[in-house]
Every structure is written in C-alpha cells, then in structure tokens.
Amino acid sequence: MRPIRRTTGYNPRPEWYFLFLFQILKVFNGPLEVFGAIVLPGLAVGSLFLLPFIDRGKMLMIRQRTGAIALASVAAIGWGSLTARAISTTPHDD
C-alpha cells in the first residue's frame, strides 16, 4: 500500500480575471501597496469610464479615433501582460 503524501504548502491564487491585480501587488509592496492596489486600478477604470466623454469628436470612421484607440490599447496590453506574468510565475502543483 502506498503512503499518502500530504502537502502543507497551499498557495492561494485568485481567479484569472483578478490575476493582474495580484501581480500589481507583487510590484508595489510595502508602503506603495495602497498606491498599487487602490490608486492605479482606480485611475485605470476611471479613465476607461471617462473615455467616451474625453473623445467627443464628430462621429467618424473608427480609424480616426486615435486617442480612444490608443488608450484602450494601452489598457488591454497592460492588463494582458500583467495577467501573463502572473500566470507564468504561478507555481505548478505536482
């Protein structure tokens, strides 16, 4: 009979849609944790929320909305890269 192998090293991880916030907490630790956990995500969500009000130009082709497209692209790239980094640094269970 094989002995039961018990592991005590549980590593809690959030769901995939919160991994970018989890990674931000790794970057901003110590006294900067409040800035990384509250201020940066608040600014990011606020800027995406205000995007339609900032870019109030006449409705043109989507290719001519460079400001809005640039801001949305930077947000998507940042979110994706932080999530990918969090996934790559996650220890795998054996």
Q: Using one digit for the tens of pLDDT, what is the confidence trace for 2-33?
A: 777 776 677 778 888 888 888 888 888 888 98
The total number of residues shown for the chain amounts to 94
Largest CA distance in the chain: 75
| pLDDT exceeds 60 at position 94 | no
The string of pLDDT tens digits covering residues 71-88 is 888 889 988 999 999 888
Q: What is the pLDDT of residue 50?
A: 84
Is residue 71 within 8 A of residue 48, CB to CB? The reply is yes
Calculate the alpha carbon distances from 44 to 1, 52, 54, 74, 94 in Å. 56, 14, 14, 10, 37
Calculate the alpha carbon distances from 32 to 27, 29, 40, 72 in Å. 9, 6, 11, 26
